[in-house]
Amino acid sequence: MANLIDGKQVSAAVKEQVRLETEKLVQESGKRPGLAVVIVGNNPASRVYVNNKKKACETVGFQSFEYTLPEDTTQEELLELVQTLNSDSNVNGILVQLPVPPQIDDKAIINAISAEKDVDAFHPENVGRIMIGDYAFLPCTPAGVMELIDSTGVEISGKKCVVIGRSNIVGKPMAMLLLHRSGTVTICHSRTQDLASVTREADILVAAVGKANFVTADMVKDGAVVIDVGMNRLENGKLCGDVDFAQVEPKASWITPVPGGVGPMTIAMLMKNTLTAFKQQNQLA
């Protein structure tokens, strides 16, 4: 029987720290951190995530600015909004919720966000900084996973860590963060041969594939720490991770649920990054 890693509890603790520090800094500076969240179109999943971000801003005492743009917004229109937010001193963090509709090139948008306000840490400057270990922000989902692993008390240094998935948003930075903590890291992907033989070696297994119930019991080592980054919606509307929880849970030493695992952590780390951006922009660090 695995121990459950409670993402709601760990995220609440992170947000409480952010709230306390925010309260103090608002008193000292008379200014309040602000996060702008932009959503283009009406993807229902994105809507839920953005609403959760807005709620978190209220919880920690940030101002939140929400921009809902129509599905047919042009790239020029979105770039114009980003420029406006870049030069607004009340906005410390800017996040354009992904995915954006196909007429918009997400790379162009990410490049346009001022690196100092890029609380997702998706801008090439911030990605480069992560690579060399000289960063202000960590990407929210991988940073949240690190907090969840740390909450178990399991040591990362020297352990075999396997990441399934190589996206720029999760898989690649995840591997880098585990490497910074001296994990021995393997990245697997759709072309990996004999995937199960690789994942079975993992002391720490992070699944970021985007396929419901992809990780089965035969792919998991006894006693592994299993982190499920997946956020898949089944036809019946139910939310489901990348890990077949019922099968894998008995083998793992620690495991995250979906929902209530990595998702809430992504949002808590976004609050942390926004506070960092606020401090840097106001010389409060």
Task: Return d(Cα 221, Cα 130) in angstroms, integer.
Answer: 30
Q: 37 has which bridge partners?
A: 66, 95
* Active-site choice (120, 203, 242, 244): 120
How many angstroms separate the Cα of 215 from the Cα of each of 50, 165, 241, 247?
Answer: 28, 12, 9, 9
Task: Return d(Cα 94, Cα 99) in angstroms, integer.
Answer: 15
> In the bound complex, which residue of the shown chain has the CB atom lying closest to ligand L34?
263
Is 53 part of the annotated catalytic residue set?
yes
Nearer to ligand L34, 183 or 261 (CB): 261
Smallest distance, Å, CB 105 to ligand L34? Answer: 14
Smallest distance, Å, CB 55 to ligand L34? Answer: 10
Is 17 part of the annotated catalytic residue set?
no
Smallest distance, Å, CB 7 to ligand L34? Answer: 7
Nearer to ligand L34, 52 or 282 (CB): 52
Q: Of 176, 150, 167, 180, give the one whose Cα is nearest residue 265.
A: 150
Nearer to ligand L34, 101 or 200 (CB): 101
Q: 3 has which bridge partners?
A: 254
Is 120 part of the annotated catalytic residue set?
yes
Q: Of 203, 107, 101, 104, give the one whose Cα is nearest residue 162.
A: 203
- Taking the CA atoms of residue 8, residue 11, residue 13 and residue 19 in that order, the dihedral angle to the nearest 10 degrees is -120
Nearer to ligand L34, 147 or 203 (CB): 147
Positions that interact with ligand L34 (CB under 6 A) = 48-49, 52, 95-98, 120, 140, 231, 239, 258-260, 263-264, 266-267
Smallest distance, Å, CB 139 to ligand L34? Answer: 8
DSSP state at residue 182: T
Query: Annotated catalytic sites, by residue?
Result: 53, 97, 120
